[in-house]
Amino acid sequence: MGKVELLVDLQKYKNLLFQNIKKELTNWFESEEVETISSTEVYRFLHSLKGTAGTLNLEGLAQLARNLLAELDENSEYNWLKKDLKDYLFQLIELTYEYEHFEEEQTVNNREWHHDTQLVQIVDDDISMLILLKDVLEEKGLMVITNVDPEKAVEQYYELQPDCLIIDIHLPTKNGFEILNEIQQHNEKYFIPNIMISIDHDKETRIKAFQNGADDFISKPIEIDEFLVRIERHLQRKKIFDQSVLIDELTQVYNRRFLEDSYTKQLHDLNRTGQVFTICILDLDYFKKINDTYGHLTGDQVLSEFAQFLKNEVRKGDMVYRVGGEEFSIIFPRANDLEVQKCVTNMITRFSEKVFTHDEKKFSITFSAGVYTVSNSDTSLKDALREADVALYEAKRLGRARVELSHNSVDLYNKKVLHISVVDDDIIIRSILEKLLRGIQDERLDIKIGIYEDGATFLQSEYAQNGENHFLILDGMMPGMDGLEVLQAIKGGKYADRFTVLMLTGRKRDEDIASALKLGADDYVTKPFSTTELDARIKRLLKRVK
C-alpha cells in the first residue's frame, strides 16, 4: 500500500515540475518585459531541473539537463536572445512534452506519417463510431479525415482525393446512397474504393449500396478485426493499381509517375548530346470557381478537354502530364524557354476562345504557365519543377492567361501568402508547433506564422481579420475563451471560407470532437500527438489552401 501512495506522490510532484518548467519558459519567451536572458539564469534553471528530474525518476530529462549544463559556464556574463535560447532548449522542450503526455501510456505512438501516407475518409454522424474507426485505422499507420456533414464531406472528397471512402447510410440532409450516387460519375474515372457501413444490412439495402457504387458493405455493429483486414485489402489493391498505372484516369494523359521516368530520359539525352530541354507547368485560372459554380462533374469535363487540347497542340515528341488537380506539365525536348514561351502563348489564346456549356450556360476559362529550361544534367526534377512553379506564380501575379520564364530565383513577392496560426494555452505545445511550422518548406507559399496563448488575442489580431488564406491549429480546451468558441466565431464570420481549421483535442472528449466537426473544423488530432503525425497531417491539409 505504501508503494502505491509513493507513486501517487511522485506523479503529483512531476506535474508540479512540468508546471514550473512552463512558467519559466513563458516568463523568458513571452514576457514583453524580458528582452534577453542571462546565462546565469539559464544555468540555475538547468541545474535545478537536473536535480529535481533525477529525484523524480525522470532520468532522460535529468541527463539532458546535464548535457546542456556541460556547454555552459556558470560565471558567464553572456545574455541570450529569446530566439537563440529557444533553439538551444528545444530538445528539452520536446522531451518535457513527451514525459508529460506519454509516460502513462502503455505504448508510445511510433507512427511515421508522410505527406503521401494513404488517406481514408470516414463519413458518419455517429461520433463515437467515427472516433473509434479513426483511432483503429490510425493505429495501423493510416491517415484518417472525418466528416459528419454530408455536404462538406463531398467537398473534401473532391479536394483531398482519399484512397478509400467509408460512409454510413443514415446521415443528416443527404443519405449515403445519395453521396455515392453523386460521386459515382467522378469515380468512374478514378479507382477509389467506396465502403458502405450501416446498421441496416438486409439484402435489399446491400444490393442498393452496390448499385450506387459501393465496393464493399460492412454491417454494424462492426467486427473491428474483420473491418481492418477488409480496409487494408482495399488499400493494398489501390496501391498496386496506382503503382502500375502510368495514365491519369480522368484526363488520359501521362501521370506524375511517368513524368519522373521521362525526365530521367531527357537528362540522359542532355548529357549525351548537350541539347537542352524545357519543362513547362500549366495551371487553369480560377478553376475552383468552375467547381463551385457548375459542380465538380463539369470541372472534370473541363480538365479532360483541357488535357486533350494540350495533346492536340504540342509537337510530336512533346509529352503532356497531369501532375495534380488542375495542374499539368509538358516536356519539350530540344527546345529553349523562348521557343516554348511563344508556343504556349499561342495555345493560351486558342484555349481562351473555347466555349464550355453547362445547363445552357456558356463559359470560358484560361490558363497560365511557367517555363524553365534544363541545361545542366545535375538538375533534379524537383528543382526543375520548383523553377517552373516560380515562373507560374509570377504569371498568376501579373494577371493570369500568360507565360513567364524562370529567372532562377525565388522572390517572396511572387508567392501566395498563407497565414498559419497556433492558439494553445500550453507554452510547450506552442513552442513545438512553432518549430515544426517554421520547418515547412514550400516555394509557392509565403508562410506567415502567428502564435497565441488564448483565443481572444487571436481573434483581435490582424491575422484573423485580414481576409487572407489562413490555416489555424486550435486547442479545444483553454481557459477563458475555449477553442470551440473561437471556431464558432471564425465560421460565423465573413471570412469563414478562408480558414482551414485543425482542432487539438484531449482523449475521451467525444462531445468536443462532435461539436468541432459540426461547427466546421476540417480535421482533429487528439493529444498527445506525435510531431511526425502532425507534420504529415498539416502538409496534407495545406493542399486545400494552396
User: Which residues are known catalytic residues?
Assistant: 326
Grid coordinates given for 13: 510532484
CB 484 within 8 A of CB 516: yes
DSSP state of 247: B
Q: Tell me how crowded residue 203 is: count the other CB atoms within 10 A of its CB.
A: 7
| Angstrom distance (rounded) from CA 452 to CA 192 | 39
Q: What is the DSSP string of 46-79?
A: HHHHHHHHHHTT-HHHHHHHHHHHHT--TT---E
**Counting every residue, how long is the chain?**
546
| Angstrom distance (rounded) from CA 293 to CA 304 | 18
Radius of gyration of the chain (CA): 27
Residue 164 dihedral angles phi and psi, to the nearest 5°: -160, 140
Residue environment code for 284-300, b if the CB has 16+ CB neighbours within 10 A, otherwise e: bbebeebbeebbbebbb
Question: Can you list the positions of beta strands (E) in 98-215?
Answer: 119-123, 143-147, 164-168, 194-198
CB 390 within 8 A of CB 413: no
Residue holding cell 501516407?
117
CA nearest neighbour of 525 among 459, 480, 476:
476
21: left (phi over 0), alpha (psi -120 to 50) or beta: alpha
Q: What is the DSSP string of 377-428?
A: TT--HHHHHHHHHHHHHHHHHTTSSSEEE--S---GGGSEEEEEEEE-S-HH
Grid coordinates given for 442: 514550400
Give the DSSP H/E element, type plus range, for residue 486.
Answer: helix 483-491
In whole angstroms, what separates CA 175 from the centre of its chain?
Answer: 28
Grid coordinates given for 372: 524553365
Name residues whose C-beta falls within 8 Å of residue 428's C-beta, 6 or more positions apart in sequence: 21, 22, 25, 93, 96, 97, 100
Grid coordinates given for 345: 502563348
Instruction: Specify the pairing of strand 79-81 against strand 194-198.
Output: unpaired
Residue 518 dihedral angles phi and psi, to the nearest 5°: -70, -30
Instruction: Specify the pairing of strand 164-168 against strand 277-284.
Output: unpaired
Is the dihedral angle over the CA atoms 176, 180, 181, 183 positive or is it negative? positive
Show the DSSP H helices in 331-380 as ranges: 337-352
